[in-house]
Amino acid sequence: MKRIIIDTNFYAAFKRNDTEAVDLLKRVEYIGINAVILGELFAGFRCGNKERQNRTELDQFLDSARVYTITLDDETSEYYAQVFSELRQKGRPIPSNDLWLAASALQHGLALATYDEHFSSISGLLLAIR
């Protein structure tokens, strides 16, 4: 696995120097992050007492040649609807922000780096962490 998209909790683990997160980021060539995850991070920074420091560290992370910001588009919306419908039929809904993350991962063929177990219910979604 050389291409991943990261969840908010994975970025937080990386910032805490979690060995698993740090090691995974060292091994991959492409690190995607979408606008929804950026929004979650920005919101968390604003609620904390180190907003400027956290924002500076995120900006440095985003400046890496291996990190790409992934936009949401009409195709992402189709994947969102597919995942939403699948999980609804299974009786396993997940938060809407996580639906957008899964949709981005599926659309771009990226493995998802997350610590949330509910993503394992999504067909075809490759998880970077088990």
* Rounded Cα gap, residues 77 and 40, in angstroms: 19
pLDDT of residue 33 exceeding 90, the answer is yes
Confidence of residue 130 (pLDDT cuts 50, 70, 90): low
* Rounded Cα gap, residues 86 and 50, in angstroms: 39
What is the set of domains in the chain, with CATH numbers?
1-119 (3.40.50.1010)
Structure tokens at 82: 């597919």
pLDDT of residue 126 exceeding 90, the answer is yes
pLDDT of residue 54 exceeding 90, the answer is yes
In the numeric block, the tokens 């493995």 are attached to 111
Rounded mean pLDDT of 29-42? 98
What is the CB neighbour count within 10 angstroms for residue 14?
A: 18
